[in-house]
């Protein structure tokens, strides 16, 4: 790939001065158009060491309205980022609609640095490349325009620049992160880099390699690359990225329904409940300590019918946990600033760091439940969400997360009984609203959505636990014992392989 | 203080079991009432080492709805916090309206740890105590109920517990931050601690010292303390915290008005502008490097009439800066999640870390400008904002921030001319809206608000620069040269005293 590119291509000062004012004006106008159309733009800059990324970005931002862009300078991950999977810190910095995020180095540099430790010929696992492709795909499908640029200089030019920098411009160090090693030497990394770039060159997130020995040529090419892609987007002429259509969904009558076969007669007598509950509390307390010291992050999410007992189950689980390292995240309708991002964005921000437990009281499944049934998002959007969720959950589980998903199931009669109790009990009336009664009328629609959810998002790495919840004692014990079993199993595996948590990032 | 308290007070198991269910129920009900009334609650736990903070908080949260509280476990500050002033990481974690934030150790531990380095008899500067009082006062006046609890055990009890922990419960280390030294020994810190607690025991944020040798007694006292304060708040019977009334404000005709005396005839010819502008760009570029390497954080904020040229000035300033270490924050109306906090909260979150520059395009002065004039907040709220702003800015400047405040001034005729240009120029129409014309009609009201703002918030540490902006060339150069002079002056001081940035926190 690189050998076909001549890094020496150049542009005279006169040509540069003639071209640049028009390019600046054009990109300024485009930035405003994208702001008005609420389209997010993500620009990634990568390149050889001293290939001029910083000065190129300076030229680019010179032409932009500073109220609409942000440059993310990728230095060593900080404490918090190191306690999350590699892609996390980039996910949470993806641009809001109408905004431009410019990454001065990105997940590509991080991936290269991550893989080469002690390895002379670095190889990148196919899975790590898939993870990148998946993240970019999620963003592209959601409407983010992704532009990836690699600045290519020759080995000779690199040597020349390094020499010059050391001699005459010590302040360039400003632009370097002295505590983080740069990419490995040119020759060492070349084949890996070619592989990485060619495999991640997708229609939704294409690469442009730009000849960068001559700064005038570089800057003009960068402007033209970005302008072309933005114009193609406006014209709708570039390849539209769509997720693969999903054949097997709603209305497939031949499928075995899950909910009708749930045995809701299961109960637990009160004395047995008390006994097992206390045992669970003690065991959870111990396990949380182990989880914390082994740095395993845990996600426990709850979905279920209104009045199925989510709140009560969560309170009891929460009480058994040390609040220093656990938190409950109640999920309501998104705020405007959350809506301005990919719908997974706000959940990614809430993910627990290593050794911590986050309990989600409702979750990202809102998209395929309430948002689907109430028509809060278009059909193709919730349809593609199943895949998106599976991709995210798979990434989390491979990164070392324990992920537990509970569906609390009751029948309509039990719900009615509990609604009526809530209306008459003054201590509970606050729990019931008009919305609850309205949702209840849509029970069959919700049931269909739940069936689809269970069918399509019960994956080997992240299966659903259906909790028979007509009896609250039975329900709560099943939840706590399921959590305990999962933590014990993870700790046993962790102990056996002695593996370090794979999500741990290097400094 | 401590000698009058008998840490041995105790409660039998029977009494405890009789009392606790009622206390739990009561606090649960109160939590919901505070949620419904949108009142934020902030509970601080401090205490001697092994005084039982963690287990007490566990008992407390046991009774709370986990969807409404969050425990903040104060460990060593992370990378980002260390690059901000001491109180910053607590400010950004203050509770939203209707929520409860529980601090498991807090700014008190941090202040004690900060002060004792190499000092056998630690003394806390009066200023550090004032900073704490000021922060708590800001929150209390804004409606936050603050409850501060110190768990007091005897020296003998502490020794006993430490011995027991080492022997039989190694997992208690879970609760400790092994990389952070605890408070100094009992005797060493006692006088300092007494001083700190007695001076920060204010009506809006009172301390309760709780005898903690006996765990039953402790937990019941903690419940009762919190319940009493919450009930007093609901009854309106505790001392209402109000800021000192402000005598000298609007309508004071004897005051010399500032705006009429601004000389708006100042201009700069284009060639001189070009020449000085380029010199400014070069100099700013160099200075940013020095600022970065000296780890000085810089805030540059812009307020001004519509069409006074804020946008243009900011773009030009931004272009001269390396985007790796500078950012522009455009301030619009707050989002709902921002409105749920103290109005300074969102700005505190945006403060630059050491070595970085943040340019605010409009700022916290919105409260005393647009919010005052348009009636977006009650009169007593914007009236007290002057003091609040002065307190915050003074804290920032003492913490090492460079703070530059620009008011871009034009006359109504110039505004009219620019509005009309914007309406006719197709490239500029996006800049003008109905709102602009509406605001223009309120010119005299805004002028009065600006006068008050300039009078009341021009302090020695954070003075306003009024920029004569009828001529854009003059305006831009004055801004850039003012920034340059301020950076040079700060660097000169920094170099002379060789002082470390005082905002730098210890690990």
Q: Tell me the per-residue pLDDT of A388-397, one tens digit each, with 9 for 90 and over.
A: 999 999 999 9
Chain B nearest-CA distance from A334, in A, is 10
Domain residue extents for chain A: 2-235, 267-497
Could you report the per-residue pLDDT of A473-502, keeping only the tens digit for each? 999 999 999 999 999 999 998 876 544 444
- C-alpha span between B175 and B422 (Å, rounded): 62
3-state secondary structure of A41: strand
Checking if the pLDDT of A180 tops 70, the result is no
- C-alpha span between B313 and B408 (Å, rounded): 10
| DSSP state string for B319-357 | HTS-TTSEEEEE--SPPHHHHTS-TTHHHHHHPPPTT-E
* pLDDT given at position A481: 98
* pLDDT given at position B500: 46
* pLDDT given at position B247: 46
pLDDT greater at residue A184 or residue A175:
A184
The ipTM is 0.85
Chain B nearest-CA distance from A246, in A, is 36
A314 touches chain B (CB under 8 A): yes
B335 touches chain A (CB under 8 A): yes
Best mutation target, B64, B66, B180, to test chain A (most A CBs within 10 A): B66
Judged by CB atoms closer than 8 Å, whether chains meet at A328 and B67 is answered as yes
* pLDDT given at position B227: 97
* pLDDT given at position B4: 81
The residues, any chain, with a CB within 8 Å of residue A201's CB and separated by 6 or more, are A207
* pLDDT given at position B181: 58
Helices B186-199, B107-115: axis angle to 10 degrees equals: 130
Contacts of A336 in chain B (CB under 8 A): 335-336
Which residue in the block uniquely carries the two structure tokens 């030497």? A185
A311 touches chain B (CB under 8 A): yes
Judged by CB atoms closer than 8 Å, whether chains meet at B174 and A322 is answered as yes
- Range A352-370 average pLDDT: 97
A197 touches chain B (CB under 8 A): no
Checking if the pLDDT of A170 tops 80, the result is no
Q: Chain A: residue nearest B173 by CA?
A: A289
Closest to B331 (Cα-Cα) out of B373, B378, B365: B365
Nearest to A337 among B80, B318, B337 (CB): B337
Checking if the pLDDT of A240 tops 60, the result is no
- Which residue stretches of B322-442 are H helix? 336-339, 345-350, 370-373, 379-398, 412-424, 434-441
Contacts of A171 in chain B (CB under 8 A): 286, 289
A18 touches chain B (CB under 8 A): no
Q: Which two tokens stand for residue B162?
A: 């430490």
A378 touches chain B (CB under 8 A): no
Nearest to A174 among B289, B318, B323 (CB): B289
Closest to A487 (Cα-Cα) out of A314, A281, A351, A283: A283
Chain B nearest-CA distance from A261, in A, is 32
Specify the CATH class of A267-497 in words: alpha beta
* pLDDT given at position A168: 67
Contacts of B62 in chain A (CB under 8 A): 319
10-residue stretch averages of pLDDT, chain B, 507 residues long = 83 95 96 95 94 93 92 90 95 97 95 66 83 96 96 92 75 50 71 91 96 95 97 78 54 76 95 97 94 96 96 94 93 94 97 97 97 95 96 96 98 95 81 86 95 95 96 98 97 70 46
* pLDDT given at position B95: 97
- C-alpha span between A486 and A317 (Å, rounded): 14
Distance of CA B73 to the CA centre of its chain: 19
- For B476, the enclosing helix (H) or strand (E) is helix B472-497
- C-alpha span between B280 and A283 (Å, rounded): 66
A175 touches chain B (CB under 8 A): yes
The answer to whether domain A2-235 and domain A267-497 are alike in fold is yes
The answer to whether residues A408 and A310 touch, using CB atoms and an 8 Å cutoff, is yes
Could you report the per-residue pLDDT of A300-327, keeping only the tens digit for each? 999 999 999 999 999 999 999 999 899 9
B54 touches chain A (CB under 8 A): yes
Going by the DSSP 8-state scheme, the letter that residue B161 receives in this structure is H
B312 touches chain A (CB under 8 A): no
CB neighbour class for A71 (10 Å; exposed up to 12, middle 13-18, buried from 19): buried
- C-alpha span between B367 and B390 (Å, rounded): 13
The residues, any chain, with a CB within 8 Å of residue B163's CB and separated by 6 or more, are none
A67 touches chain B (CB under 8 A): yes
* pLDDT given at position B239: 54
The answer to whether residues B292 and B355 touch, using CB atoms and an 8 Å cutoff, is yes
Judged by CB atoms closer than 8 Å, whether chains meet at A318 and B66 is answered as yes
Checking if the pLDDT of A242 tops 70, the result is no
Cα dihedral across residues B397, B399, B402, B403: positive or negative: negative
* pLDDT given at position A190: 84
- C-alpha span between A315 and A311 (Å, rounded): 6
- C-alpha span between A434 and A306 (Å, rounded): 12
Closest to A40 (Cα-Cα) out of A61, A66, A70: A70
- For A209, the enclosing helix (H) or strand (E) is strand A207-211
Checking if the pLDDT of A69 tops 60, the result is yes
Going by the DSSP 8-state scheme, the letter that residue B87 receives in this structure is T
Alpha carbon separation from B23 to A83, B13, B148 (Å, rounded): 38, 15, 19
Specify the CATH class of B265-497 in words: alpha beta
Q: Which two tokens stand for residue B319?
A: 């272009």
- C-alpha span between A465 and A481 (Å, rounded): 12
3-state secondary structure of A242: coil
Nearest to B327 among A54, A70, A324 (CB): A70
> In CATH, which superfamily holds the domain spanning A2-235?
P-loop containing nucleotide triphosphate hydrolases (3.40.50.300)
pLDDT tier at A173 (50, 70, 90 boundaries)? Answer: very low
The answer to whether residues A487 and A298 touch, using CB atoms and an 8 Å cutoff, is yes
- Range A76-81 average pLDDT: 89
- C-alpha span between B59 and B51 (Å, rounded): 14
Could you report the per-residue pLDDT of A258-276, keeping only the tens digit for each? 999 999 999 999 999 999 9
Question: Of the ranges A41-55, A176-190, B323-337, B371-385, which one carries the lowest mean pLDDT score?
Answer: A176-190
- C-alpha span between B216 and B52 (Å, rounded): 11
* pLDDT given at position B179: 52
* pLDDT given at position A114: 76
Chain A nearest-CA distance from B146, in A, is 20
Contacts of B337 in chain A (CB under 8 A): 335, 337
Could you report the per-residue pLDDT of A86-138, keeping only the tens digit for each? 999 999 999 999 999 999 999 999 888 876 555 555 578 899 999 999 999 99
**How many contacts, defined by CB atoms under 8 Å, are there between A and B?**
99
Best mutation target, B29, B67, B422, B431, to test chain A (most A CBs within 10 A): B67
């Amino acid at each position: 790939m690189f050998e076909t590119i001549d890094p020496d291509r150049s542009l005279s000062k006169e040509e540069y001065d003639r071209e640049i004012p028009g390019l600046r004006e054009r990109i300024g106008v485009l930035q405003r158009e994208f702001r008005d159309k609420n389209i997010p733009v993500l620009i990634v800059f990568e390149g050889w060491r001293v290939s001029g990324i910083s000065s190129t970005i300076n030229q680019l931002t010179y032409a932009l309205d500073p109220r609409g862009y942000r440059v993310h300078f990728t230095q060593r991950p900080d404490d918090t980022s190191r306690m999350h999977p590699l892609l996390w810190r980039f996910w949470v910095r993806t641009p809001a609609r109408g905004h431009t995020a410019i990454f001065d180095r990105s997940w590509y540099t991080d991936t290269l640095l991550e893989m080469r430790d002690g390895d002379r010929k670095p190889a990148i696992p196919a899975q790590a490349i898939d993870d990148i492709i998946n993240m970019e795909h999620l963003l592209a499908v959601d409407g983010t325009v992704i532009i990836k640029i690699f600045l290519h200089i020759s080995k000779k030019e690199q040597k020349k620049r390094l020499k010059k920098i050391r001699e005459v411009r010590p302040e360039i160090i400003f632009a370097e992160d002295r505590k983080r090693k740069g990419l490995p030497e040119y020759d060492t990394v070349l084949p890996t880099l070619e592989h990485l770039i060619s495999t991640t060159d997708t229609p939704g997130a294409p690469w442009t390699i730009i000849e960068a020995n001559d700064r005038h040529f570089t800057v003009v090419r960068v402007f033209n690359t970005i302008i072309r892609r933005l114009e193609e987007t406006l014209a709708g002429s570039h390849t539209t990225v769509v997720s693969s259509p999903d054949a097997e969904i709603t209305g497939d009558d031949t499928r075995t329904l899950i909910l009708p076969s749930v045995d809701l007669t299961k109960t637990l007598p009160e004395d047995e409940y008390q006994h097992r509950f206390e045992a669970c509390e003690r065991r959870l307390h111990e396990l949380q300590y182990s989880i914390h010291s082994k740095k395993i992050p845990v996600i426990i999410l709850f979905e279920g019918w209104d009045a199925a007992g989510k709140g009560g189950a969560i309170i009891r689980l929460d009480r058994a946990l040390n609040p220093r390292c656990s938190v409950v995240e109640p999920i309501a309708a998104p705020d405007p600033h959350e809506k301005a991002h990919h719908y997974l964005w706000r959940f990614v921000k809430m993910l627990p760091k290593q050794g911590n437990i986050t309990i989600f009281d409702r979750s990202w499944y809102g998209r395929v439940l309430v948002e689907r049934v109430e028509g809060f998002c278009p059909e193709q959007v919730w349809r593609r969400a199943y895949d998106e969720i599976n991709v995210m959950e798979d990434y989390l589980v491979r990164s070392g997360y324990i992920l537990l998903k509970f569906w609390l199931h009751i029948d309509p009669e039990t719900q009615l009984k509990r609604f009526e109790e809530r209306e008459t009990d003054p201590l509970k009336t606050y729990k019931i609203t008009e919305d609850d009664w309205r949702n209840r009328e849509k029970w069959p629609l919700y049931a269909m959505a739940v069936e689809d959810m269970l069918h399509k998002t019960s994956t080997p790495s992240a299966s659903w636990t259906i909790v028979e919840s007509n009896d609250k004692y039975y329900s709560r014990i099943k939840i706590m014992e399921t959590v305990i079993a999962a933590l014990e199993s993870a700790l046993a595996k962790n102990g056996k392989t002695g593996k370090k948590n794979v999500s741990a990032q290097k400094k």
